[in-house]
Chains A and B, each alone.
Chain A
Amino acid sequence: MSEVPLSHILFVSTALFFTGMYGLFTRRNLITMLMSIELMLNSVNINFVAFNKYLYPEKLDGIFFTIFIITIAAAEAAVAIAIIINLYRSHHSIDVEDATEMKY
């Protein structure tokens, strides 16, 4: 069984990253935007793991970073959800277009 080459994995992660970026730009729903951010974070995780495995298999740095990012992402998701809930309470909507108080 031949191994999957590194470039394939990078291709997947790049696709994942730009899918997330596209979602972040086009979606107006805050929860969807949060999910898009998670996608981008995960594409980075894939990169870390892939490089670790293919280039420096004797080290664990990339994997540690991945675990860090997953942890931070979980915390960030909690904070973001809290913000979204508060926003919903005050604006009765989670559409980004409706929250424009910080405009000039």
Chain B
Amino acid sequence: MNYSSYIALIPLLPMAAFVLLGLFGRKYFNKSAGIIGTGLLLISTVLSIYTAYQYFFVDGKVGDTYQTITALKFTWLSFSDTVSIDMGIILDPISVMMLVVVTFVSLMVHIFSLGYMKGEERFATYYAFLGLFTFSMLGLVVSSNLFQIYMFWELVGASSYLLIGYYYQKPSAVAASKKAFIVTRFADLGFLIGILILAFYGESLDFNTIIQNLTAQQSSQFVAITSASFIGVSAITWGLTMVFMGGAGKSAMFPFHIWLPDAMEGPTPVSALIHAATMVVAGVYLVARLFPLFAINETALSIVRIVGVVSALFAAIIACTQTDIKRVLAYSTMSQIGYMMFALGVSGNGGEDGLGYTASMFHLFTHAFFKSLLFLGAGAVIHLVHSNDMKDMGGLRKYMPITHATFLIACLAIAGVPPFAGFFSKEEILLAAYNSSMIVYAIALLTSGLTAFYMFRLYFSIFWNKASSPLERTGGEAHNDHGEGTFSMKLPLIFLAVCTIGVGFIPFGHFVSTDGKVLETPFHLMFSIAPVAIGLAGIGIAMYLFLYENECPEKYSKKLGGFYRAAHRKFYIDEVYLFITKKVVFNLIGRPAVWIDRNIVDGLMNGIAATTAKVSGLIKGIQSGKIQNYTLYFFAGIGSLLIVFIYLWKQ
């Protein structure tokens, strides 16, 4: 089966939606923009599911190994015979999986937004941006080379910027969008350097060629990249670490995570799509894409592992103390991506060792469903309550039965309660960590307990906690006129809830593994006792503290004292950044640079201009406009020429 006949349509249809709605949307289709965007994306979704079916069940396998298929490839920029930049589409297990995830979640978000964003003035613009984002993300996952992935990487960054700043009248949204852009941009600088290093030594931009060149122990490229070094670290470690820096920026890993909580200023469905399910896992995807390279370099892999573990634990602690429901979810996302990262970090390449890789991709897959479900549920709650803060909520279960049920399913999934999706994927990650290192396993276990605790803190605070709902307390019956939301808002919740229950049973190791072969992931009953017990304990504590309104949470947070306050203030990371940028960078780099610019660069130019003006002022008197002066000069000239030629110019 030839994929190239339709594969390009998958990213191009959302692009078409972007162009159409971006150019003509506000004028002609402001009402129908949602339907147009959703319709085009629906076709894309169907095509990607068909592609996945074709790839996984019909012709992706040769023998017992999944092949990497180049479905489309053309040279985009040709610099010389050997150096060129291609554009292409490759299909391998992870890119096909991502195609399905991105189109499906994006479709759910498109449908949800039909109700959520109804009546917005820039409705068409919103759908145009969503189309742009979906296009870029799809382009990113099918990229066949480093340069192409970098371009789409920046495009998702730009569309994320546009969507976070969608409510551009709000100063906080503008600040958040700038922060997201600048922080990820800064990390992308590392990515670019990494690309240049890898491409320089790998002598190609193409993923397959680079991996082939740099993993073969005898190849000249491998020898070159391992023997070249900079401050005692070999070039390959530098390259991979720099690439990982870009991935960490996009995936909001510590210490580049600061933009993610603020990015919650965007519309909630956008948070579900970009900042939970798709864009933020791009970093994980990137590491997975280059995994054969990471696997041969222990240093780079251990950086991935450490950053992942630290982010997972760190974010989980902060999430326990936040009161803005979207921020809790944002930190939870960061924590779960930390899981995916360290799962890659503990993985080996090939065979049984590759369990971490499979587990990471599996968690990415399940996380996309339950986290977007959580965000969309939170969106429905915010739509009803018109507030992000937990203390404005409570007792909502009677008002929004469907949201309540689906939210509960998602919370159980993320807490790792069987038989929901999160249980299976987290189980595999923990197993991979257990096989690799006890410390990582212990931290991961602790984090999973914290995860259960903060998710159920969130759940109880929204739907239980108070006897009466906020709507009754404020007498806000007027709020209640739209009830739980339109049908278009409930439908995605139900779809995603079904997926959240179902996808855990997919034997993921059969499809995605490091070497393309089937990886059996046996289910150990004994092993899963500890995580489930810890998860249930977390739920129990949350229930004790938050099921009904009581004094306990207050009391315990007082007891924790300084630690609680530090966690509540997000461990002062933002302040540290502000200090570094304002006090150190501005004073030591910014100000001298400005001084040099103003005084030396500008001064040079101004000096040249001023000198010219002065000289011309001095000599302009010659051009007096008086004809007799001119004749005088004329005769004086002739006179002096005569003197020269008659008396001085002797042979």
- Residue ranges of A at the interface with B (Cβ–Cβ < 8 Å): 21, 24-25, 28, 33, 96-97, 99-104
Contact = CB atoms under 8 A, between A and B. Distances in A.
A25 B623 contact: no
Contact of A104 (B620, B627, B628): B620
Contact of A24 (B624, B625, B626, B628): B628
Contacts of A100: 624-626
A24 B620 contact: no
A3 B624 CA distance: 49
A99 B623 CA distance: 13
B627 A103 contact: no
A103 to B, nearest CB: 3
17 contacts: A21-B635, A24-B628, A24-B631, A25-B631, A25-B632, A28-B628, A96-B627, A97-B626, A99-B625, A100-B624, A100-B625, A102-B623, A102-B625, A103-B624, A103-B625, A104-B620, A104-B625
B633 to A, nearest CB: 12
A97 B626 CA distance: 7
B632 A104 contact: no
Contact of B626 (A21, A33, A96): A96
A70 to B, nearest CB: 22
A96 B628 contact: yes
Nearest to A96: B627
A72 B122 CA distance: 81
Nearest to A28: B628
Given A24-B631, A97-B626, A103-B624, 7 more contacts: A25-B632, A100-B625, A101-B625, A103-B623, A103-B625, A104-B623, A104-B624
Contacts of B632: 25
A101 B624 CA distance: 10
> Quick one: which of A21, A28, A33, A103 has the most chain B CB within 10 A?
A103
The 6 closest A-B pairs by CB, nearest first: A103-B625, A100-B625, A104-B620, A104-B623, A102-B625, A96-B627
A84 to B, nearest CB: 12
Interface string B623-651: 11111100110010000000000000000
A104 to B, nearest CB: 4
Nearest to B625: A103
Nearest to A26: B628
Contacts of A25: 628, 631-632
Contacts of A96: 626-628
- Interface of chain B, main secondary structure: helix
A62 to B, nearest CB: 21
Nearest to B621: A104
A103 B623 CA distance: 6
> Quick one: which of A33, A100, A104 has the most chain B CB within 10 A?
A104
Contacts of A104: 620-621, 623-625
A28 B627 CA distance: 10
Contacts of B626: 96-97, 100
A64 B492 CA distance: 108
A99 B627 CA distance: 9
Nearest to A97: B626
Contacts of B624: 100, 103-104
Contacts of A21: 635
A33 B631 CA distance: 11
Contacts of A33: 628
A75 B103 CA distance: 90
B121 to A, nearest CB: 59
A104 B626 CA distance: 11
Contacts of A99: 625, 627
Nearest to B616: A104
Nearest to B627: A96
Interface string B291-334: 00000000000000000000000000000000000000000000
Contacts of A101: 625
Contacts of A28: 628
Interface in B582-622: 620-621
B627 to A, nearest CB: 5
A36 to B, nearest CB: 10
B89 to A, nearest CB: 67
B632 to A, nearest CB: 6
A25 B625 CA distance: 15
Contacts of B621: 104
Contacts of A24: 628, 631
A41 to B, nearest CB: 14
B271 to A, nearest CB: 67
B134 to A, nearest CB: 65
A59 to B, nearest CB: 26
Nearest to A103: B625
Nearest to A24: B631
A32 to B, nearest CB: 12
A33 to B, nearest CB: 8
A96 B621 CA distance: 17
A31 B623 CA distance: 23
A79 B632 CA distance: 22
A96 B620 CA distance: 20
A37 B625 CA distance: 20
A104 B618 CA distance: 12
B59 to A, nearest CB: 83
A60 B632 CA distance: 34
A81 to B, nearest CB: 16
A101 B626 CA distance: 9
Contacts of B628: 24-25, 28, 33, 96
A101 B623 CA distance: 11
A25 B620 CA distance: 21
A96 B631 CA distance: 13
B488 to A, nearest CB: 75
Nearest to B624: A103
B101 to A, nearest CB: 74
A96 B628 CA distance: 8
Nearest to A27: B628
A99 to B, nearest CB: 8
A71 to B, nearest CB: 23
Nearest to B617: A104
B629 to A, nearest CB: 10
B43 to A, nearest CB: 72
Nearest to A25: B628
Contacts of A97: 626
Interface string B506-550: 000000000000000000000000000000000000000000000
Contacts of B623: 102-104
B166 to A, nearest CB: 58
A37 B556 CA distance: 112
Contacts of B625: 99-104
Nearest to A30: B627
A26 B497 CA distance: 106
